[in-house]
């Protein structure tokens, strides 16, 4: 038995919440103080201008734009109002 379960993501609101929670997991665990400091996280890549294979614009569009993406990630998931 696997400790994780699959869950179908049916709407963009829930997807935004998941992205935010995933980016904040290392912060919540006390491994870093900010999502961009965790080198195994896509957060820093998403907010950068560097070339990447990630679908950066698609992710940013889920949050409307880069500025709102950064703004939404300034608070922990439970306080951000996302979701």
Total structural domains in the chain? 1
pLDDT over 70 (residue 83)? no
Give the whole-angstrom CA distance, residue 31 versus residue 22. Answer: 13
pLDDT over 80 (residue 6)? yes
Q: Which domain holds residue 50?
A: 16-80
In a domain, 9, yes or no: no
In a domain, 37, yes or no: yes
Residue 42: closest CA among 65, 67, 25, 61: 25
Model confidence pLDDT, tens digit, residues 25-73 = 999 999 999 999 999 989 999 999 999 999 999 999 999 999 999 998 8
Residue 24: closest CA among 80, 62, 64, 67: 80
Residue 13: closest CA among 67, 81, 74: 81
Per-residue pLDDT, 78: 73
Length, in residues, of the chain: 83
Per-residue pLDDT, 5: 84
* Contact present, 80 and 20 (Cβ < 8 Å): yes
């Amino acid at each position: 038995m696997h400790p994780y379960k699959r869950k179908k993501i049916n709407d963009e609101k829930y997807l935004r919440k998941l992205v935010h929670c995933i980016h904040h997991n290392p912060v919540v665990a006390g491994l870093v103080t900010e999502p961009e400091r965790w080198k195994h996280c896509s957060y820093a890549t998403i907010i950068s201008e560097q070339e990447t294979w990630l679908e950066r614009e698609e992710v940013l569009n889920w949050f409307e734009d880069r500025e709102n993406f950064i703004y939404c990630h300034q608070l922990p998931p439970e306080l951000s109002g996302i979701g």
